[in-house]
């Protein structure tokens, strides 16, 4: 790369997952401009990236002229997923939250320096009209692209977070795959990312030396245990997987993420069998079932140890922002494949 760093324009920047992915990829790049409209996310981003030009703006306000002045080589982005998510209305391109992405497609032909694009979204995007419009725009602008459906489990990271990704570049095609297929694994010739790069069990991702008062803050409430004990996804430290953590984690019990058995000296199966017998939820208390902490979820999502939240951000806000973020390790590996 020489001494000249590649310049990244980070759109829908959230809490900085793309920025951390670029740092981890170590491709000789810097984020020169970052944009998001979410106030809480922007506070976290600025807390961690004080030197980055981060602005709270609607992306529709970005003109081709302004972007060209930034001279970005790379666009990294994670547009709103609600128009495509399985629990949403699936309004697709008719959803107002797609308007900023559609605006980007309009300005794309006028961007003079952009040679690489990386985009992340939810599973379901691959069958949307928005996807068709996006790939059509890429082709018309001379980009070659590859699509992926990938989870951190591909790295033997014990967390399921299946997501859709596109990597696109101008001038030369990729030496793997085809534009007519969606890949579900990393290409074989990318040996540096095809091997396991993190620990296989949950243990190394968990916080150590949990104080009693901290534990009390994260224990599942009695009413949650009583109402939802049959559907809880309970994990132990030695487990090699966990469910995807969503923005509704701790707010809703079903399908929002796993919980942890903190006290391993008690038998999970025995306690649940006792509960089955008489319906007394008190049998579960010795297990100390608790939520994963925001730091533990950040660890599973590949955020570095120096990532932190401002002290003013609430626990619920932290869960919501993490649920809307992405896996840093997966994106970093895709970025290396894109630039190599």
Residues labelled catalytic: 81
Which pair of tokens denotes residue 284?
């579960």
From residue 86, give the alpha-carbon distance in Å to each of 92, 124, 174, 224. 12, 7, 31, 24
CA 256 – CA 322 distance, rounded (Å): 12
Contact 41, 50 (CB under 8 A): no
Distance CA 131, CA 121 (A): 10
Partners of 34 in the β-ladder: 10, 54
Length of the chain: 340
C-alpha to C-alpha distance for 122 and 113, rounded to whole angstroms:
28
Q: Which residues pair with 143 in a beta bridge?
A: 170
Measured between alpha carbons, how far is residue 229 from residues 53, 117, 149 in Å? 46, 44, 31
Distance between CA atoms of 334 and 325, rounded to whole angstroms? 16
Q: Please state, in angstroms and rounded to a whole number, the distance separating the CA atoms of residues 274 and 198.
A: 37
Alpha helices in the chain (DSSP H): 17-25, 39-48, 64-70, 99-107, 129-140, 191-194, 212-218, 222-228, 268-278, 294-300, 315-323, 328-339
What DSSP string describes 106-146?
Answer: HHGGG-SS--EEEEEEETTGGGSHHHHHHHHHHHHTTEEEE
- Strand 163-170, strand 182-183: pairing: unpaired
């Amino acid at each position: 790369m020489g001494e000249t760093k590649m310049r990244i324009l980070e759109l829908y920047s959230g809490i900085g997952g793309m920025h951390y992915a670029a740092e981890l990829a170590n491709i000789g790049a810097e984020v020169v401009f970052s944009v998001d409209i979410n106030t809480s996310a922007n506070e976290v981003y600025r807390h961690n990236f004080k030197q980055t030009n981060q602005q709270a703006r609607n992306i529709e306000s970005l003109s081709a002229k302004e972007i060209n002045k930034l001279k970005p080589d790379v666009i990294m982005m994670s547009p709103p997923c609600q128009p495509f998510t399985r629990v949403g209305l699936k309004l697709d391109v008719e959803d107002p939250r797609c308007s900023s992405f559609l605006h980007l497609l309009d300005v794309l032909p006028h961007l003079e320096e952009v040679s690489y694009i990386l985009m992340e979204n939810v599973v379901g995007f691959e069958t949307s009209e928005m996807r068709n419009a996006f790939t059509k725009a890429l082709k018309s602008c001379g980009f070659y692209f590859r699509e992926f459906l990938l989870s951190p489990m591909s790295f033997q990271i014990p967390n399921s977070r299946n997501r859709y990704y596109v990597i696109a570049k101008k001038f030369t095609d990729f030496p793997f795959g085809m534009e007519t297929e969606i890949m579900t694994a990393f290409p074989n010739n990318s040996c540096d990312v095809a091997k396991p790069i993190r620990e296989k069990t949950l243990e190394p991702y968990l916080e150590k030396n949990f104080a009693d008062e901290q534990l009390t803050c994260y224990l599942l409430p009695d009413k949650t245990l009583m109402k939802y004990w049959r559907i809880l996804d309970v994990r132990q430290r030695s487990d090699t997987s966990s469910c995807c953590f969503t923005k509704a984690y701790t707010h809703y019990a079903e399908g929002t993420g796993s919980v942890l058995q903190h006290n391993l000296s008690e038998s999970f199966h025995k306690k649940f069998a006792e509960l089955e017998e008489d319906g007394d939820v008190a049998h579960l208390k010795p297990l100390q079932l608790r939520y994963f902490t925001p730091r533990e979820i950040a660890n599973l999502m590949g955020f570095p140890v120096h990532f932190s939240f401002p002290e003013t951000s609430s626990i619920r806000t932290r869960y919501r922002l993490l649920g809307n973020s992405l896996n840093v390790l997966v994106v970093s590996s895709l970025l290396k494949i894109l630039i190599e």
